[in-house]
A and B are shown apart, each in its own frame.
Chain A
């Protein structure tokens, strides 16, 4: 397809009328062809960042936006060569599927033959062959979002932007469309910035993820890094479930005394709190256990059993085990946590609480 460009934000902040700071000065670089996901709770500044990239918003004075080498800070969105997919589809209700998709092409005044060729091409890509003449009102939510996607890629943008495109769809459809978007992005090799508050979406689609919190980037890294080496407690909490173990005493050989037993983690420096994911905790016979506790809650989830284990001293661990066995609440249980599954926030000086 077209020439993708990299995106560079330099000291981009955004203050709204009334003094609300939606975005603190931000530096961000997205490689050409890369998919970057902006992930965070509502109000964290992810949508503002996307809108600054798109040109729908301007950064406060001093901030610069570059596409490749070109400074586009002063350009409005219609001059930036971007494709955008919105949460509420934003399809033109007065046009049918074909007219929606070719709107940008007609603006570019392409020849009729070229428009028809591109229309057929993108309809094929989003699996909507034969829908060209349908009216928008006759489409399902998933089909609408595919039309919106086709409309955005038909103009062959240098950058593709997604603003929570799947948030309005139901869970099943969301999963399917997520896979399709992922496949499409790989096929096109286009630079993409994808805003979502859904961690599964972020991990499935992102080459890198920027987790945002209160107007700044809390961590920027590959999905693997974000999940296994979260920079702070906020990121650890936001991406998946996490257990915290308050360290009572720490020995020089890397043994940590925590409520319910002792854990070994020589790779960790001095830590006040140890973190681990629920699925990394293993159940072992009581006599071999590092930690002992009592099941206080046992929930059957189908694909797994979710246990809440009380290890004393106000500590409750969340544990995921096979649902093939019965796990009655009230029974004693022995746990083991492999060394490498234990982590602590990597960022120096990271705040303990989000």
Chain B
């Protein structure tokens, strides 16, 4: 087979796959911007549906952002020291904990949510507050933070750097903030972006845990698909994409930072 033909076939196949995945998204975005989806583009473009979504669901968007930020703070405060602890520990239990950390990712979100409801569901105040959902999000996203930080810590030869810092008189606290944290900053950044993205997009756990007053963006999205015009749901998708795509781009960028150095 000639080089040229092979290249053309590969390119064609790649484009086909891309189209297959991108067309539905593009259609959805279009639907959110057209006057009437069933009449198509000739009915005219409009931002009416977007503003309607904003009027109806802006509080779900704010709640999602609030949740994501709170989730980020908690996973960073827990995740970075946890990853550090796992790195330092030579104990066999450390390996077991590393595996266990993946559990909330592997177990279906519905099951995690059910477990939370079983244990904490009877505490009324707590059950009705957004903090209840936050617990679910932290459980789900923490492994991603720990993993991202842990892998960067591994390649950064932190134990050696710490020995050097301690020989220069640095106390454990000074070493943690002066050497450990700066040298795994790229991992923390990658983990943070992952956590925010996952938290904003999380549906399974949130759907089980939410109340009519604590709806997040994805839950609102499901709600709008079920009960509103198709155009409204699509406009909602558009808003969601506008929030999530920049985050995904940043994850890629952070991934480059964590790549091989030195």
Q: List residues of chain A with CB under 8 Å of any chain B CB.
A: 54, 56, 76-79, 81-84, 86, 88, 90-94, 103-104, 107-108, 136-137, 148, 151-152, 155, 161
A136 closest partner in B (C-beta)? B262
- B198 at interface (Cβ–Cβ under 8 A)? no
In the complex, chain B residues whose CB is within 8 Å of the CB of A83: 167-168
Chain A residues near B117: list those with CB within 8 A: none
Q: Are B166 and A77 in contact (CB under 8 A)?
A: yes
**Cα distance, A184 to B156, chains bound together (Å):** 30
The 8 tightest CB contacts between A and B, nearest first, are A104-B168, A90-B164, A84-B167, A94-B182, A78-B166, A107-B169, A77-B166, A90-B160
Whole-angstrom distance from the CB of A20 to the nearest CB of chain B?
A: 14
Report the Cα distance A133→B166, complex, angstroms: 24
In the complex formed, the residue of B with least CB distance to A154 is B168
Do A93 and B262 touch (CB < 8 A)?
A: yes
Contact A92 B163 (CB under 8 A): no
Q: Which residues of B lie under 8 Å from residue A103 when comparing CB positions? A: 165, 168, 170, 178
Interface of B is mostly: helix
Q: Is B179 an interface residue (CB 8 A)?
A: yes
The 15 listed contacts between A and B (C-beta, < 8 Å) are A78-B166, A82-B167, A83-B167, A86-B160, A86-B163, A88-B157, A90-B163, A90-B164, A92-B182, A93-B156, A93-B183, A93-B261, A107-B169, A107-B174, A151-B168
Is A92 within 8 A of B160, CB to CB?
no
Question: Is there a chain A Cβ closer than 8 Å to B171's Cβ?
Answer: yes
In the complex, what residues of A have CB within 8 A of residue B169's CB? 78-79, 81, 104, 107-108, 155
Contact, CB under 8 Å: A90 / B161: yes
Per-position 1/0 for B160-199, Cβ under 8 A of A: 1101111111110010001100110100000000000000
CA of A151 to CA of B185 in the docked complex: distance in angstroms?
23
- Report the minimal beta-carbon distance from B91 to chain A, rounded to whole angstroms: 10
Q: Which residue of B lies closest to A88 (CB)?
A: B160
When C-beta atoms are compared, the residue in chain A nearest to B164 turns out to be A90
- Whether B183 lies near A94 (C-beta < 8 A) is yes
Closest to A151 in B: B168
Give the complex CA separation of A272 and B173 in angstroms. 61
Shortest CB distance A122–B (Å)? 13
Smallest CB-CB separation from B262: which chain A residue? A137
* B interface, size bucket: 20 to 34
Interface centre among B157, B166, B182 (most CB of A within 10 A): B166
Q: Within the assembled complex, what's the spacing in Å between the Cα atoms of A88 and B261?
A: 15
The reply to whether B164 and A84 contact each other, CB–CB distance below 8 Å, is yes
- B130-183: which residues lie under 8 A (CB-CB) from chain A? 156-157, 160-161, 163-171, 174, 178-179, 182-183
In contact, A92 and B183 (Cβ under 8 angstroms): yes
Main secondary structure of the interface of A (DSSP, over half): mixed
Q: How far is the CA of A88 from the CA of B161 in the complex (A)?
A: 10
Report the bound CA distance from A54 to B167 in whole Å. 8
Per the bound structure, the CA–CA distance linking A203 and B221 in Å amounts to: 76
A56-B163, A107-B174 known; A155 and B168 CB under 8 Å? yes
Alpha-carbon separation in the docked complex, A108 to B169 (Å): 8
B94 to chain A, nearest CB (A): 14
Among A76, A77, A81, A108, residue most surrounded by chain B Cβ atoms (within 10 Å):
A77
Chain B residues, Cβ within 8 Å of A86? 160, 163-164
Q: Which residues of B contact A155 (CB under 8 A)?
A: 168-169
With the chains together, A167 CA to B182 CA distance in Å? 28
The reply to whether A84 and B170 form a contact with Cβ atoms under 8 Å apart is: no
A88 vs B158: C-alpha distance when bound (angstroms): 12
- Whether the Cβ atoms of A107 and B261 lie closer than 8 Å is no
What is the minimal beta-carbon distance from A102 to any residue of chain B, in angstroms? 10
In the complex, the chain A residue whose C-beta lies closest to that of B156 is A93
* Cβ contact within 8 Å between A152 and B183: no
For A108, the closest partner residue in chain B by CB is B169
**Measured CA separation A31–B169 after assembly (Å):** 23
Q: Is the CB of A137 within 8 A of B168?
A: no
> Do B166 and A92 touch across chains, with their CB atoms under 8 A apart?
no
Residue of chain B at shortest CB distance from A161: B167
Evaluate contact between B166 and A76: CB separation under 8 angstroms. yes
Report the Cα distance A148→B167, complex, angstroms.
Answer: 12
Docked Cα-Cα span, A136 to B156, in Å, equals: 14
Question: Taking each of B164, B167, B261, which has the highest tally of chain A beta carbons within 10 Å of its own beta carbon?
Answer: B167
CB distance from A240 to the nearest CB of B (A): 33
Closest partner residue, chain A, to B184 (CB atom): A94
B163 to nearest A CB, angstroms?
6
Q: With both chains docked as a complex, state the minimum distance between the C-beta of A72 and any C-beta of chain B, in angstroms.
A: 14
Q: Is the CB of B161 within 8 A of A152?
A: no
Kindly state the separation between the CA atoms of A90 and B159 in the bound complex, as whole angstroms: 9
A83 to B164, CA, bound (A): 9
Residues of B within 8 A of A104 (CB): 168-170
Q: How far is the CA of A21 from the CA of B262 in the complex (A)?
A: 36
A107 contact from B160, B163, B170, Cβ within 8 A: B170
Q: How far is the CB of A347 from chain B (nearest CB, A)?
A: 35
User: Which residues of A sit under 8 angstroms from B160, Cβ to Cβ?
Assistant: 86, 88, 90
Q: How far is the CA of A91 from the CA of B183 in the complex (A)?
A: 11
